[in-house]
Structure 1
Amino acid sequence: MKQTVLVVGLGLIGGSIALALQKSPNVRVVGFDANSDTLQSAKVLGVVQDVTKNPEETAKKVDVIIFATPVNATLEWMESLKSWELPTATIVTDTGSTKSLIMEKAYDLRENGITFIGGHPMAGSHKSGVLAAKPYLFENAYYMLTPLEGEDEEKINILQNLLEYTSAKLMRVSASEHDHMTSVVSHFPHIVAASLVHQLHAEGADNPITKMLAAGGFRDLTRIASSNPILWRDITMQNREQIAGQLADWQAEMKRVEDLLITGEATQIEDYFAKAKSVRDELPISSQGAMYMTYDLYVDVPDYPGSIAEITAYLAEEQISITNIRIVETREDVFGILVVSFQNADDRERAAACIQKRSPYEIYIS
């Protein structure tokens, strides 16, 4: 069955969905973006097959509309939808990282005869914008769908079948379940990371050397604190109740840790770390979770001129793309001094095999 899809918002997420859907010969993707330069780039790069400057008019002839815009912008688009002339079979979805506000608005659309099925692909990149869009961005990532209660199963299946081309792991949950789970594994950890960086900054006034020592494991631990502050301002405000609940649980846990430090014996403290290690080691490693992750490869290279260039040359010769490269100066709890990051696990495995084959350097995957 031929389908026409309108993607509104052609940044990293919207552009990547548009590219993924083009894997199907039966899908035609039309794009819109408020930024005219982005719209032109999307057309020239083939991110979409066609573009429109009038999404309301184009929506009269499409099967699926995907709002790949920030949640606040999506809410505005949803309000506009009430006056649009949409075919009764049209399915509308979004990619927002919080769902409760979106799905409350979806009830209003249902009263207007519009089918809205919430969505959230849990994937990302260190880059943003249409130029960073990749058709494989969502491979092995979770893609959450949040339909309203009593939604037409046939329409949910149509949307799921379309999104299969993203190669993501589709999962159906309620909006409240989604916002609770993401508060636990994504939203609250961002606040913790930011708080750790603030604590380091305060410490730096009296002990400036501490900041230098943070170049290793601390930097990796708090990587997510470098995320877009406007994006995380909005996410925090939209999901503040769930995040506040996590903060209360965290404070109770920190009180337990404080008591353990003050009155606990060595075996109790060891048990605390052992339990954390056990739970952490059981976490899945074959798929992306709720936060963007990098696939890091540690290379124990000697400290002489040209060694890093040698490694990157090997990877270039085998056309293995890297997303980041850095030298780790502090080696506590970190294997190797050269850290090379990749977009996915396959590229990391290829790189590991390449370096093992061509050099004597030891490599590690942490």
Structure 2
Amino acid sequence: MTELRKLGVQITSQPDGFVIDGRKSWRQPTEPLASHGDHRIGMMMAIAALRLAAPAELESAEAVNISYPTFFEDLARLSQGGVKMTTVLIKGLGLIGSSLALSIKQAHPTVHIIGIDRDDVSLSYARQQGMIDASGTDLAAVASDADVIILAGPVDVIVADLHRLAMMPLKAGVLVTDVGSTKQVVMHAALAIQQHGVTFIGGHPMAGSHKSGVTAGRANLFENAFYLLVPGRTNQAAVQRLQALLQATHVKWLTVTAIQHDRIVGQLSHLPHIVAAALVDQTQVALADSALGLRLAAGGFKSITRIASSDPTMWAAILMTNAELITNQLQDYIDQLLRIKTAIRVHDQATLYEFFATAKVTRDHLGPEQLGGLPNFYDLFLNVPDRVGALADVTQRLAQAQLSLVNIHILEIREEIDGVLQLTFSDLKTRTQASSLLADAGYQIVRRN
């Protein structure tokens, strides 16, 4: 009864059963449906969810395996025979596209996912791993079958795809979204399909990896990351529909304008990628005549340049689609470097101290509490000895205590010297429990942020 009421069903308990009032449409649930570990409830709610306008998450869906291990596969086949089933088209099966596919499948096993990619090997891998149910290389051949279209290629390709979609017959009620890291140019291109009554929501999951490609995809890539949405004039129901489809990503949703997005992301993501790549290239040239060279690169250098390992094709395209804003931000950065260069040359120690002191204060106070109430993160720093199994011991202790990590980062690691382990938690209570647990185990807590 509780689960059916989540769908807006009017149900009344009776001494010998219950009475359900029929209705033509059901309400989209605002929280996940649940099987409560019962295979019968799980199957009932999976079938009931077929009537919804958008997918809904079913917790403990694996309970159906008790009596019907192939239930979801059979349900998918029956859905293709006439019962409504959501079809999601993902164009671009790189890191982001493949990870979205995995997270959708995790929460919505009956959703039919079509993957499009120019690389046949990527398509084959995605099908073998169960990321997608069908594949293709031509957007025009499958776009009309989709209830939801996710454009997950480089920004310039997304723009071209939006113009192509505007010339295609699409399914009534289709929802189109993207994952591009610049938004003004994408939202402008989306006008072409919006003029035909197609719903478009700009999207950008603020998560990634220095690894790329379909083999790097994982369902938990986005967990606790910010997912920026640029809905424009799109109604809230469409936004909720997209969020319901992607609820297994476990992201923190934020709504911004296209201008806000590009300014913030340009400064916090695009500019740092330029700086990291430039430092690596400059260091390679500067130490080209050294036998040791980059072999001595340790924690600090590796930490600041990690993102230089990102996909060069993607980043070249990103910079082209946000050129004016990034150029201005890059000039401001260059001006700052020139000011410090002058201070070093004239031995202006006061200016240098102010430069580092200001940066330290800002960096030490980085946190969502400074950003108008955004979701917070809580860091714990501890010394870890340079020995085999040290990291595993920490993570195993946390796992046994069922304390969930958001992120883990190794700082200042050198041979035969203790390193600093940064553990990030989603709430203060978990951080406090972890601190006590690890301190009792003999680990030295350096600080808490």
Identify the TM-score tier after normalising by the shorter chain: 0.7 to 0.9
Query: Cα 1:310–1:279, aligned 2, differ >3 Å: closer, same or farther?
Result: closer
Aligned to 2:235: 152
| Aligned AA (2:201) | I
Post-superposition Cα deviations, 1:241-272, rounded to whole Å, max 9, x if no partner, equal 11110111112222332344456764553333
SS in 1 for 2:113: strand
Shift of 1:309: 5.6
Q: Does 1:41 align with 2:121?
A: no
- Please name the residue that 2:220 is paired with: 136
- How far apart are the structure 2 equivalents of 1:176 and 1:99? 8
Which of 132, 152, 155 lines up with 1:71 in the alignment? 155
Counterparts of 1:232 and 1:142 in 2: how far apart (Å)? 20
1:308 pairs with 2:392: no
Amino acid at match of 2:105: Q
Structure 1 residues 314-323 or 162-171, which shifts more?
314-323
User: Any residues of structure 2 matched to 1:1-366 within 5 Å, and which?
Assistant: 1=52, 3=54, 4=86, 5-25=88-108, 28-34=111-117, 35-48=119-132, 50-53=133-136, 55-148=139-232, 150-205=233-288, 209=292, 211-262=294-345, 266-284=349-367, 300-301=384-385, 307-308=387-388, 328-329=413-414, 336-337=418-419
- CA–CA distance in 1 between the matches of 2:98 and 2:289? 46
Give the distance between the partners of 2:91 and 2:408, measured in 1 at CA.
27
Give the drift of 1:279. Answer: 0.6
Aligned equivalents of 1:220 and 1:25: distance in 2? 37
Aligned residues: 345
d(CA) in 1 for partners of 2:309, 2:171: 42
Rounded Cα–Cα distance in structure 1 between residues aligned with 2:380 and 2:305: 15
How far apart, in 1, do the equivalents of 2:422 and 2:102 lie? 23
CA deviations 1:208-259 (Å, max 9, x no partner) are 5564443331222112222222222111222221111011111222233234
Contact kept in structure 1, 2:104 and 2:248, CA below 8 Å: yes
CA distance in 1, matches of 2:391, 2:195: 60
Which secondary structure state, in structure 1, belongs to the residue aligned with residue 221 of structure 2? coil
Instruction: Note if contact 1:215-1:330 (Cα within 8 Å) is conserved in structure 2.
Output: no
What TM-score, normalized by structure 1, do the two folds share?
0.77
- The residue matched to 1:46 in structure 2 has which SS? coil
C-alpha contact 1:7 1:29 (8 A) present in aligned 2: no
What is the aligned-residue RMSD (CA, Å)? 3.9
CA drift of 1:65 comes to 0.8
Distance 1:200 1:358, change over 3 A: same
How far has the Cα of 1:325 moved from its partner?
Answer: 8.7
**Alignment gaps of 5+ in structure 2:** 1-51, 55-85, 370-378
Question: Which amino acid in 1 is paired with 2:167?
Answer: S
Tell me, yes or no, if the aligned pair for 2:299 and 2:411 is still in contact at 8 Å: no
Any conservation in 2 of the 1:31–1:39 contact (CA below 8 Å)?
Answer: no
Q: Give SS of 2:201's match.
A: strand
1:145 counterpart SS class: strand
Structure 2 CA distance, aligned partners of 1:324 and 1:160?
A: 29
Number of the residue aligned with 2:65:
none
Bigger RCO (CA 8 Å, 6+ sep): 1
The Cα of 1:191 is off from its aligned counterpart by 1.2
Larger-Rg structure:
2
Tell me the CA shift for residue 14 of structure 1: 1.2
TM-score (norm 2): 0.64
- Cα distance change of structure 1 residues 27 and 142 upon mapping to structure 2, 3 Å threshold: farther
Give distance in 2, aligned partners of 1:358 and 1:19: 38
3-state SS of paired residue (2:246): helix
What is the one-letter code of the residue matched to 2:367?
P
Are the counterparts in 1 of residues 212 and 310 from structure 2 also a CA contact under 8 Å? no
Identity %: 35
Structure 1 unpaired stretches of 5+: 287-294
Residues 114 and 134 in structure 2, CA contact (< 8 A), matched pair in contact too: yes
Residue deviations 1:308-355 (CA, integer Å, cap 9, x gap): 267658968979999999994489xxx735x8899x868xx8xx89x9
